[in-house]
Structure 1
Amino acid sequence: MQKSLFIEAVRSHRLFETLRSLMSFAVARMREAHLQEVASSMTLTTLLSLVPLLAVSLAVFAAFPSFADTRKALEDAVFNSFLPIQYSEVIMKYLKLFSDHASGLGAFGLAGLSLTALLMIDKFFVTVNRIFKVRRMRPWTQRAMIYWALLTLGPVGIALSITLTTQAIRIAAGSTEVSLPGWVFVFFQIFLQTFAYAVLFKLVPNCKVPFAHALIGGLFVAITGQIVKEGFEIYITAGTLSSIYGAFVAFPVFLLWLYIAWILVFAGAAVTAAIPQLTSGRFADTYMLGNDFLTGVALLKELTLAREAGRPIVAEEDLARAVDSYPQAIERILIRLSEYDYCAPILENERRHLTAWALLCDPKEKTLRDAVFALLVDPRNGLLQSARADGKKPAGPLAEWFSTFEDDSFIEETLSELARSGRVKELPKA
């Protein structure tokens, strides 16, 4: 059945339209988060944090001499995966030299290096959560533990997987010394990078991310990165940069590649975040003006109807289905409405993801006034402010008009009156 649907989608060009919509949504997410500026900032931050990051991570290997081969595998995989070999060797040589110097620092020096590296990881987490439109970050204590685990255990796990998988491939080929074709290692790099990025896109956002969506985002970064790497190698070997920078060409090449790498990583996060939009019937409404307000009103209506039907608690997925949206979008809107005492989260899973909601207010008393303020118009806008009693500040040019707007019948409509206006879809029965 799924195969026939896939063939039908290809024949009718719906697959192409879906991919085009996905890319347009991803680009919109990137623009909203100003990822070009963020990638530039992350490039500088990475340049300052890379030596501390390597010093702390490689110190774990230094504590266990038996991991020497594993450390070498990690170094080769990381730098050969991202940069052309002639530049990766030069850059790795200097970074290892700097890291060896840093490893001689005392406890306070090591703590300072760790803090620098952790701040870079924190900025990455904040940016990815912004792409997913997460309003509430994890508590600092929980984030600190995750950061430290990534900083210390992450390199060990990656290096071990590289070593074991490489050995397994060679054993399967019949010899531990056999020279495998280059495409095998390219495929292995793409596979490993896809899984690594998928884990990041799954665990970093403080919201529910299906692993299948994270895998698509990871595969996008891995394949695009490999293509860009090949094109990048052709570009820099053309001699343009070498003729300008001479012996110092490795440094601008490294900066340029860091910038490209961050753009690709954030693009993968944007692709992952945009996939749920395609599952909603109203995905084209996402970037229409006023969509958040209209969706918020529809959600309040569904919550009111559910309470009147004897269902005070409604699952987030059911609410998303009722308003033809997707859970990540309505969660952001419901959190905003909860700040105005309309509703409250009832159930949370082990990762603190909001999974069910209930109407908190009295639907016979609560009007849509606060919903307008929460999702449509901020009453603190200077154009709407009334004149101060002491005469020091005149009224805003729209203050009088806004006072009549607040008295409009639709803004004073209660939730119970809203619920009586009918409904489009029925919520699932309990």
Structure 2
Amino acid sequence: MSSPTITRLQNYLRHTYGFLQQVGRGFIEDGCQSTAAALTYQTLFAVVPGLTVMYAIFNIFNSFQAFGDVSGRVESFLFSNIIPENVSVVQEYLRDFSTQAQNLSVPSLILVAVTTILMLFTIERTFNEIWRVREPRQGFQRFLMYWAVLSLTPLFLFMGFAITTYILSLPLITGVADATTALRFVPVILSAIMFTLIYKAVPNCSVAFRHAAVGGVLVAIAFEMAKWMFGYVMSRSSFQVIYGAFAAVPLFLLWIYISWTIVLVGAELVKGLGIYRSFAAEQLEAPLVQILALLELFHQAHQTGAVVKEEDIQQLGHKIALEDWNDYRQWLMSLDLIRSVDRGGLVLTRDLSDLTIWDLYTELPWPMPRNVINQQGWEGVLAGKIDAVTEHDQSLLNTDIESLFQSRVAEVSLKPAFVRSS
């Protein structure tokens, strides 16, 4: 290979390794391991009411003869492609539990449904923490998202299977040997679409569809590979000998934990696609300077009557830490400097001629930067002002600590001594 090709390959491998490092670091820093364990515990209680809703929706379609028993086939298809063979016996238990749940009284159903809502709360909170979003959805918007997850997921699976069944029943398709083979890709395609929608819709921030789609496809493939590997390893283990008939329960819990781990890794991957910078080694400015760079963008957009989109923020990746953008946005909105608009995007809401650098600094939680890296344009002017402030502050604090303590003692020496109570 030529030298330029080798250089490009080395750069690609270096950036890929850096990206994977960022995903792994985010997975650990965001506590995704403990979150996966918590979701495993909540899923154990939420799976029954979730299946109850799914069966209720399926029963609606069963009332139409045109659909036949497609819902029963969807159920078998769902369990056979989501749960490994080693724990497929759980399907019978879950079906019995959900059937009994349909006979519960209204208060009992509400209590059971709360477990599903709590799991959805945990999922939303986890995704928002991964994307550094401090404010979850509120009110009716939140309710609509939860209801969509509970109702549209089984409906989506049903329609996907119904369409596949219809296509395979066509005269041109019937009898074709490759038709059965094509069915093997259906669960991967459905999973990819479902994960894409989850990564796009659940975080309370803008997620690029292409990033969500890449994450959805990779997670769907990883899910299928994990299912095959899990079944392969468990079939050669001694779980059945140790636990006997009870073996399905720990295996089922282990599989749920693995599944949630894959989902959360996918979330970190989708977030990483939006914030990873190939020039990550380049040093960024302090938070105050980054926020000023954001305000410059909003000021320029305000002068032309434009709206700042997420795509515009991404273009500032060389000036701001994109992983901190959601934090910066929340602070700017809390200070009434920007706001969202109905058509999407953000706009400036305050005259910046009435806002001083000191006013902005005192409202933000970050310290005064010690220096400014970029010495061009307004950044160079800011650097001079910060240097002057630093020199002045240093002269005021150019007192040794012992002298400080002595001055404090001198101030309180006239006060009565503190007497310890007996």
- In which range does the TM-score fall when normalised by the shorter chain? 0.7 to 0.9
What residue number does 1:95 align with?
Answer: 94
Runs (5+) with no aligned partner, structure 1: 1-6, 378-405, 423-430
Asked if 1 retains the 8 angstrom alpha-carbon contact of 2:42 and 2:115, the reply is no
How far is the alpha carbon of 1:315 from its aligned partner? 2.1
- Show the 5 A alignment for 1:240-251: 240-251=238-249
How far is the alpha carbon of 1:25 from its aligned partner? 2.1
Q: Hey, what's the Cα distance between the residues in 2 that align with 1:311 and 1:421? A: 25
Q: Hey, what's the Cα distance between the residues in 1 that align with 2:298 and 2:209? A: 29
What residue number does 2:348 align with?
Answer: 357
Asked if 2 retains the 8 angstrom alpha-carbon contact of 1:296 and 1:371, the reply is no
Runs (5+) with no aligned partner, structure 2: 384-422
- Show the 5 A alignment for 1:205-220: 205-220=203-218
Report the 3-state secondary structure (helix = DSSP H, G, I; strand = E; otherwise coil) of the residue aligned with 2:236: coil
Q: Which amino acid aligns with 2:57?
A: V
Q: Hey, what's the Cα distance between the residues in 2 that align with 1:8 and 1:204? A: 40
Change in CA separation of 1:372 and 1:77 when aligned onto 2, cut-off 3 Å: farther
How far is the alpha carbon of 1:193 from its aligned partner? 0.9
Change in CA separation of 1:159 and 1:303 when aligned onto 2, cut-off 3 Å: closer
What residue number does 2:361 align with?
Answer: 371
Corresponding position: 1:79 with 2:79:
yes
Q: Hey, what's the Cα distance between the residues in 1 that align with 2:38 and 2:69? A: 34
What residue number does 2:144 align with?
Answer: 145
Aligned residues: CA RMSD: 3.6
* TM score, norm. by length of structure 2: 0.76
With 206-215 and 258-267 compared, the bigger mean Cα shift is at 206-215
Larger CA Rg, structure 1 vs 2: 2
Q: Hey, what's the Cα distance between the residues in 2 that align with 1:409 and 1:194? A: 47
Question: For each residue in 1:148-206, what CA deviation from the matched residue of structure 2 results, as whole angstroms up to 9, or x when unmatched?
Answer: 1221232022111122124314537631x766577533322212111110011111112
How far is the alpha carbon of 1:245 from its aligned partner? 1.0
Q: Which amino acid aligns with 1:144?
A: F
Change in CA separation of 1:113 and 1:9 when aligned onto 2, cut-off 3 Å: farther
Change in CA separation of 1:74 and 1:327 when aligned onto 2, cut-off 3 Å: farther
Q: Hey, what's the Cα distance between the residues in 2 that align with 1:284 and 1:172? A: 59
What residue number does 2:13 align with?
Answer: 16
With 217-226 and 109-118 compared, the bigger mean Cα shift is at 109-118
What residue number does 1:344 align with?
Answer: 337
Change in CA separation of 1:70 and 1:293 when aligned onto 2, cut-off 3 Å: farther
Q: Hey, what's the Cα distance between the residues in 1 that align with 2:99 and 2:228? A: 31
Q: Hey, what's the Cα distance between the residues in 1 that align with 2:183 and 2:215? A: 21
Change in CA separation of 1:210 and 1:238 when aligned onto 2, cut-off 3 Å: same
The match for 2:315 among 311, 321, 331 is: 321
What residue number does 1:267 align with?
Answer: 265
What residue number does 1:192 align with?
Answer: 190
Q: Hey, what's the Cα distance between the residues in 2 that align with 1:266 and 1:376? A: 30
Report the 3-state secondary structure (helix = DSSP H, G, I; strand = E; otherwise coil) of the residue aligned with 1:137: coil
Change in CA separation of 1:301 and 1:409 when aligned onto 2, cut-off 3 Å: farther
Asked if 2 retains the 8 angstrom alpha-carbon contact of 1:73 and 1:159, the reply is no
Report the 3-state secondary structure (helix = DSSP H, G, I; strand = E; otherwise coil) of the residue aligned with 2:28: helix
Q: Hey, what's the Cα distance between the residues in 2 that align with 1:346 and 1:101? A: 49
Change in CA separation of 1:60 and 1:314 when aligned onto 2, cut-off 3 Å: closer
* TM score, norm. by length of structure 1: 0.75
- Identity across matched positions, percent: 25
Q: Hey, what's the Cα distance between the residues in 2 that align with 1:147 and 1:80? A: 26
Q: Hey, what's the Cα distance between the residues in 2 that align with 1:163 and 1:349? A: 37
Q: Hey, what's the Cα distance between the residues in 2 that align with 1:348 and 1:327? A: 21
Asked if 2 retains the 8 angstrom alpha-carbon contact of 1:71 and 1:159, the reply is yes
Report the 3-state secondary structure (helix = DSSP H, G, I; strand = E; otherwise coil) of the residue aligned with 2:337: strand
Report the 3-state secondary structure (helix = DSSP H, G, I; strand = E; otherwise coil) of the residue aligned with 2:107: helix
Corresponding position: 1:255 with 2:250:
no
How far is the alpha carbon of 1:23 from its aligned partner? 1.9
Q: Which amino acid aligns with 2:346?
A: T
Q: Which amino acid aligns with 1:248?
A: F
How many correspondences in the alignment?
Answer: 372
Asked if 2 retains the 8 angstrom alpha-carbon contact of 1:276 and 1:326, the reply is no
What residue number does 2:154 align with?
Answer: 155
Q: Which amino acid aligns with 1:321?
A: Q
Asked if 1 retains the 8 angstrom alpha-carbon contact of 2:197 and 2:212, the reply is yes
What residue number does 2:408 align with?
Answer: none
Change in CA separation of 1:182 and 1:165 when aligned onto 2, cut-off 3 Å: closer
With 216-225 and 293-302 compared, the bigger mean Cα shift is at 293-302
Report the 3-state secondary structure (helix = DSSP H, G, I; strand = E; otherwise coil) of the residue aligned with 1:356: strand
What residue number does 2:31 align with?
Answer: 34
Q: Hey, what's the Cα distance between the residues in 1 that align with 2:350 and 2:109? A: 50
Q: Which amino acid aligns with 1:116?
A: T
